[in-house]
Structures are given as C-alpha cells and as structure tokens.
Structure 1
Amino acid sequence: MASPLARQIWTVSGVFTNMLVQGMVLSFPSCLLPGLRETDSPIKADLATASWLASSVGLSSMLGFLISSYLMDRCGRRISHLLVILPGISAWLFIYFAHNVLTLMLGRILAGITAGATVTLGAIVIGEYTSPEYRGMFLNLKSASVCLGNMVVHILHNFFNWKTIAIFGLIPQIFAFLIIYTWPESPAWLASKGQFQKAKETFFWLRGSSEREKLELSELFKKQEASLLKFGVESTLMNSLKVILKKFTRKDFIKPITIIVFTGILSEACGRHFFPAYATQIIDDITGDKTQSFYYTLSIDLIIISSIILSSILVKVINLRTLLFTTGVPALAVLTSVCVYLLLTFLDVISKERQWIPLSMIVIFFILVNLCCTPIPYLILGEILPLSHRSIGSSLSGLILSLFLMIALKITPYLLENINVHGTFTVYGGFVAVSLLLLYFMLPETKNKTLVEIEDYFNNGKYHSYDETDKDIKRRMLI
C-alpha cells in the first residue's frame, strides 16, 4: 500500500507538470518574437505588437484568476483544475495552426487564462493536500517546475521553430489533465461544505491518521463548523457581496494580501518572468555575441533550476524569513554591482572585452534570488490565506500578481531599448530594495506551522500553542 507521502507526491505531480507548461508559456516569447522578425516569416510583428504578444498572458491571466476563484469555491479544487486546463490545451493548438497575429494573440490569451487560473489553484492544492513539513518543499518545487519549463523552451528554440515548440507544450498539458483526473477532492473544501465524513476519509488517505493529523483535522472541523453556523453553506448574492466587502475590514485578510503584494513585486523585480521571456536579448546586449547566447542562456537556466531545487531543501532546515533576507540582501548588492559595471562599460570607462565579469555577477544574482526571492509569493500563497478567505483572497492575489506580470513583460522591451540593460536592472533593483525593507517588518515565519496556526497568527499577532490535553480536542481526536 502506498504511503501518505507517496500519495501526496502523486497529487502534486499534476501541479508540477502543469507548472512546467506554464513556464513554457512564459518563456515562449523568447522563440516566438525572434521568429516573427525573421525576413521569411509568414507572420510579421513590430515592437508594439511583439510586446503585446508577450504581455497578453499577464492580462488574460487576470481572467483566469477570477474564473478559478469562482470555480474552486463552487466546484472544488479537482474539477476546477480540470476545467481551467482546457483553455491551455486549446491555446497550443491555436498557436500551432496560426497564420496571422490575431490567431497567435488568441492562443496567448487562452494560455494566460490557464496560467493565471492554475498558479493559485496549484498553490492552494499543495497547501491543502500536503503535510506542513513537506509543504514548503513542494511549493518551492512548483517554482522549479516553472523554471524547468523556461529552460525547455530555450533548448527547443535551438533546434525547432516556434510552431513545433507549440506541440511540445501541448503534450505535458494533456498529461497534467490526466493526473489531476485521478485526484481526490480537497479535505479542506469538503469540510467547508459540511461534508465532514468524506473530508475525514480523504484527509487520512492523504496524510495518514497519526495523533498529530487527528489534532489538525479536529481544529479544521472546529473552525468550519463555526463558519457554517454563522454563514451557512449557501447564501444569496447580496449576502455574498456583503461578506466579500466585510473581508476588507479584517486583519486576517488585509495582512496576507499586503504581504502577497510586496512579495509579488519582489519576485517580478528579481526577474522571475521578464528574464526568461527576454533572456536571449539581455545576454546578447551584455556579451555582444549572438552566436554564444544560447549556451549562456542555457547555463543560467540550469543555475536557476538548481538554485530553486536547493531552496526546496533549505526551506526544510532554515526558517523562511532567514532564508529570504540572507539571500535577498546580498542579491541586491550583486545587482547593484552589475548595474555599475555595465554602466561603466556603456560609457567606455572600462573595457567591454571582459564579458565574463558581468555574466558571473548575473549568475551569482540568479543563484541568490532563486533561493527565496523569486518563488516566495507562490510559496506563501498556499499558506497564508485563511480557508474562509481562500477563494476571494486567491482571486485578488492572482489579479495583483497578473498585473505585475503584465507590467514586467510589457515594459521590459521598452526599457531595454531606451535605457539598455544597466538601466533596466537599476529600475528593477529599486523595487527589490523597497520590497525587502517592507517585508522585513511584515512577513511572519510559517515554517512547520499548520494552516490553522497561520490563520490564528493573522488574527492575534502571535502563534497559538494548542494544548493537546484540552477536553474538546481530545474528544475530536476520536473522530
């Protein structure tokens, strides 16, 4: 019989496979845009059109977040995930058969819907389906899967055109759909709908039935019973609107959303999305040697993936806050050094021949930021939103993260063209500095904390230590 850990791994493998595809979606402009600019390309695109093809994913992902928010509350995590993958499957087909910019744009928009919908769903599934001691590792590996997708596109671009790469994107998207089809429903969602017996069976199937798991399940049931008594399972549209508006007055909603805002800014400014999309152009500008850009880009991709995998190990042994600031502050210092060096070469103060110097510093920068800074919003998204706010909170968080993604992908080509690489990195470095400073005062430690404990923290400002001798808890542990 499979162990609970094996069952959790199988479940999250569906998320990982889908996230690999989303990495391919995000880095697809790195092969699409150069292909459209070739003299023999049947489809032509100027800079403005190209920037919209790249950034349209961020815009349409906002719709994806809204759709997933509604579906995950109404239909559950499993059915929602299956439904929102369908636009992604259609997207690759539209791109492959495209003969004009309009069809390409439609494909990118559909891909963005799936990307937006599944990024929050994936984080919430990992948060609800996995044990606290593995949750951070799985959430980090989710980010590693995105980076692996980036690298896959960069490798394929060296051998195939963008149409063929679209078929390579379709295959894992279908595999993700098939894996997700085998999932059980989320115990947390079942409990929120009053299906406590089914929630108990699924929870024990996923997590085992040790005393610790029984204690966590009893706390989950206690909170959901209170919520159902207060709000009921169903409510009218007017009552739903009142509940949503009231959330903006609650500390356990406002605080997590504010943290997600600044972790999202930090992640984008550290190059989570703009670098894979424009990696070839950035490396070309730094080295001035287009013949070697593929190897430089591939090397950095490997370093990024290795860093995130290492991060998945480090979050098991190091506190999240410690990891963030001990890597983020040195990364900011390295980025500042890169900007100064590139500026001096641009002004011909120092020679441009030592290309290995800025490239080495960029490698160090990406090692550091991918240990925590770039994956952090997607890591904490599955942890810090209380169950009662998870639907609306994930939707709002998704809209915010999509907006940041769209802005980064939209403005980066203009920044690169007008203020060069050193100016672009300087702009993003400023956002990194501000975000790290604010998160120092706002971000709590979540390592090895249950979702119920984290929820209590945002209400009370401290973690509550559950007394296992409590009579009510003892009674609930017998369920």
Structure 2
Amino acid sequence: MNGVTEQLASSIAITTLLSFVLVAPLMERYGRKIAHISLVLPNILAGVLFYFANNFRTLVVARLMFGIPSGGTIVLNAIIIAEFTSPKIRGALLNAKTSSIVFGAGFVHSLGLFFDWRTVALMGLLLPVSSLLINLTWPESPAWLARRGHYQRCKESFNWLRGEDPRAQKELHALIQAEMDRRTIKISEERPKSFPQKTKKFFKIFTHDDFLKPTLIMANVFIILEACGRHVFPTYAIKIVTAFTGGQSTLYYVVGLDLVIFGTSVLACVVVNMFKRRTLLFSTVLMIALKMTPILIESIDVHGTFAIFALVMIGSLLYLYFNLPETKDKTLQEIEKYFTVGKYKSRLTHDLEKPLTMKNEI
C-alpha cells in the first residue's frame, strides 16, 4: 500500500514540470487573466475527479491534473502579485501567498481527522471556484498591456489597481516610458529575414546578461526553496513524520507541524517589511533546517540527508550572495534596469525628465 501511495503522490511531478515550463509563453501571449483561468479550470476538474474516483487509475489522472495548477502557479502567482501591487507591499503579499498554501495544507490535514477523503476533496473545490469567480473581476496586467502597446488600457488598469496618488503615477509613467523605449529600439533594429537568422537571434537572447543573471538567481532560489522541503514535506508529510514517531498519532503531529509552519510564514509577512531581502535570505545560513524525500531517508538515513541538502543550500547561498541585488521597495522597472546595466538607476526620477507622449495603441 505504501508503494501505491508514494506512486500516487509523486505522479504530480510530471505535469507540475510541464506546467511550470509552458505557463510562461501562455501568459506572455494571452495575458495573465487567461493564463490564470487555464490553471484554475484543471484544478476544479481534478477535484471533481477525486470525488467521483472509484479506481486507482482515476486517482492518478486526478493527481496528474492537480500538477497543472501546482506547477504553473509557482510562476504565475508571483508575477501577478509583482505586477498588480505596490513595491511597498509586494514582499508581504508574496509571503502571504506562501502562508495561504501552508494554511491550506494544514486545514486539509485537520479536515482529514473528521471527514473521509472524498468529502475533503469536495470541500476543496470551494477555493478554485472562488478563485475563478474573482478572476472575472480583474483587469488585465498593466505591465502586459504596456508591453503590447495598449497604453490607454494600461493606464486604466493601473489606476484601477493602484489608485492615482503621485507615487503610483510616477511608477505608471516609468512603466509606459520603458515599454515605449523598448518598442522604439525593436522597430529600429534590422529584422532577420531568413530562418537561420531568426534562429540565431532567438538563441542569442539566452546569452544576454538580463536573461542569464535573473535565471541563475531564480534557479538558486528554487534550489534553496526545495532543499527546505517546500514541496517535499506537504507531499510526504505523513511518511516523514512516521519515520520519527513510529506511526503513533502521525496525523496529529502533521497538523501540529502545519500550525508551526503557518505561524512562521505569517511572521515572515511582517519581517519581510522590516529588513532587506538579502539580509533575510542570508540569515537563513544560521538556521538551516532540512527535510528529505523517502528515498534518501531510506538509503542514507536522516543524518546523511540533512548533510547533502545543507551542502546544496550553502552552495546556492554563496552564489546568491555575490549575484543577488537588493529588491526591497524597488519597482519592476528599476529591477529590470539593474540586470541590463548592472546597477540601480531609478526610472521614477530619470524618466520624468522626459515628456511622455502617448502613442496610438497597437
């Protein structure tokens, strides 16, 4: 039975990876709203399949479908928060997202103490259905609209989300000016005509510093995240706790750990506004706490598992120490400028020296 349970739990990894990769071109082409809807709908369908499942094959299919929102939302939710909210509260909201996930896992574990799994699956449909309904009230992302040349719609969306206070209007000005500059440069560049030229230009993008630097930084951040058990523990929580408790009152221990994790994630929402991002990240060196998948626990025991992941985290933290810029209270345009020129130069001041001419929407 344990083998079947582990197979069911790990099957989510396949679609999680695919969704993680494919959501980027989807949201770039069709916008954040459509991309979000495309992730929520499989979530709802997976919940329905779980409720009506009467064999193992249906459970695996439902689990695979759960991988679609699981992978895609890692990228999409962070981008939506970054593009829809003020830099002042961006960090707190990103941590609130994590807190919500932790709370959800703990709440489901708690429900498991009182209800059977079919009833829990049915209750779980409430959130994705609510998310879908809320999505219908959103405007489109101002950043995406500006990138598409829809400057008037960008202004309307931005004002709906952020209001019209001077600070927000400066950021809107910088956003539109940045995209207008980008489009001007793109038009002035000689367009490749042949297929080999187009291919060469496409792959050349992957060699630019403004692509390589953030990609490597995010890769190291994700390594640290997973080494801390971000997705491993919720998936294998019962197995990991059983390894320590011997199977006695396992679910109660899991719920207790969920409460601890939720409490610390809520605390992080407060702390993230008190300290700089780099300071918070590198302070984790002092309190590295690692968990591990069942395979490594069984093969090299808990001590070996902790040692391996500690080494991975130390390597990633060293890389980030020398390459990760401070982003607290920085706008997306300022962060983008950093990766382009290698230093911060605020567009909120620089761009206001130039008059902003609203061109016709494309």
Match of 1:476 in 2: 356
**Structure 1 residue 191 and structure 2 residue 71: aligned?**
no
Instruction: Give the counterpart of 1:330 among 282, 286, 299.
Output: 286
Deviations 1:280-321 (A, max 9, x none): 222222233x33323322222111111111111111110011
Partner Cα distance (1:132, 1:155) in 2: 35
Corresponding residue of 2:54: 99
Shift of 1:68: 2.1
User: Shift of the alpha carbon at 1:277?
Assistant: 1.8
- Contact conserved, 1:282 with 1:421, CA < 8 A, in 2? no
More deviation, 464-473/205-214: 464-473
Q: Would you say the 8 A contact 1:150–1:276 is kept in 2?
A: yes
Of residues 79, 88, 92, the one that matches 1:137 is 92
Is contact 1:127-1:135 (8 Å) kept? yes
1:282 and 2:240 matched: yes
The within-5 A match list for 1:65-464 is 65-231=20-186, 244-288=202-246, 290-326=247-283, 328-332=284-288, 335=289, 412-464=293-345
- Aligned-pair distance for 1:469? 7.4
Deviation at residue 218 of structure 1 after TM alignment? 1.8
Asked whether the equivalents of residues 215 and 476 of structure 1 are also in contact (C-alpha less than 8 Å), the reply is no
1:20 maps to what in 2? Answer: none
Q: Which amino acid in 2 is paired with 1:79?
A: I
CA deviation after TM superposition for structure 1 residue 193, in Å: 0.8
CA contact (8 A) 2:14 2:67 kept: yes
Tell me how far 1:477 sits from its aligned partner.
Answer: 9.7
The offset of 1:240, in angstroms, is: 7.2
- 2:273 maps to a residue whose letter is K
User: Matches of 2:348 and 2:96 in 1, distance apart?
Assistant: 33
Q: Do the aligned partners of residues 470 and 422 (structure 1) sit closer, same or farther apart at CA in structure 2, a change above 3 Å counting?
A: closer
The alpha carbon displacement at 1:470 in A equals 6.3
Contact 1:153 1:165 in 2 (8 A): yes
What secondary structure does 1:291 align onto?
A: coil
Contact 2:174 2:348 in 1 (8 A): no
Q: Deviations over 1:160-188 (max 9, x none)?
A: 23222221222211111111111011111
| Alignment deviations for residues 360-411 of structure 1 (CA, whole Å, 9 cap, x no partner) | xxxxx79xxxxxxxxxxxxxxxxxxxxxxxxxxxxxxxxxxxxxxxxx7xxx
- Give me the whole-angstrom Cα distance separating, in 2, the residues matched to 1:107 and 1:236: 45
Q: Which structure exhibits the higher relative contact order, with contacts defined as CA atoms closer than 8 Å and separated by 6 or more residues?
A: 1
RMSD across aligned C-alpha pairs, in angstroms?
A: 2.6
Counterpart amino acid of residue 332 in structure 2: L
Which residue identity does 1:330 align to in structure 2? L
Deviations 1:299-355 (A, max 9, x none): 2211111111111111111001111122x11212xx4xxxxxxxxxxxxxxxxxxxx
User: Which deviations, in whole Å up to 9, do the C-alpha atoms of 1:247-293 show, x marking residues without a partner?
Assistant: 211111100010111111111111111112222222222233x3332
Would the alpha carbon gap of residues 215 and 240 (structure 1) be closer, same or farther in structure 2, given more than 3 Å must change? Answer: farther
- Residues 54-102 of structure 1, C-alpha deviation per residue, up to 9 Å, x if partnerless? 2222220222234422321222111221122111111112222222222
Structure 2 counterpart of 1:302, one-letter code:
L
Tell me by how many angstroms 1:145 deviates.
1.1
* 1:476 partner letter: L
- Pick closer, same or farther for the CA change 1:281–1:136 going to 2, 3 Å: same
Q: Deviations over 1:106-164 (max 9, x none)?
A: 11111101221222111111000000001111111111111112112211222223222
The residue aligned with 1:13 is: none
Count of aligned pairs: 355
Give me the whole-angstrom Cα distance separating, in 1, the residues matched to 2:115 and 2:306: 30
Q: Alpha-carbon deviation of 1:456?
A: 0.9
Q: Is the 8 A contact 1:286 1:421 kept in 2?
A: no
What SS class does the counterpart of residue 94 from structure 1 fall into? helix
Helix, strand or coil at the partner of 1:317: coil
In structure 2, runs of 5+ residues without a counterpart are none
The alpha-carbon deviation at position 465 of structure 1 amounts to 3.5
1:269 touches 1:432 (CA, 8 Å); kept in 2? yes
Gaps of 5+ in 1: 1-36, 38-45, 336-364, 367-407
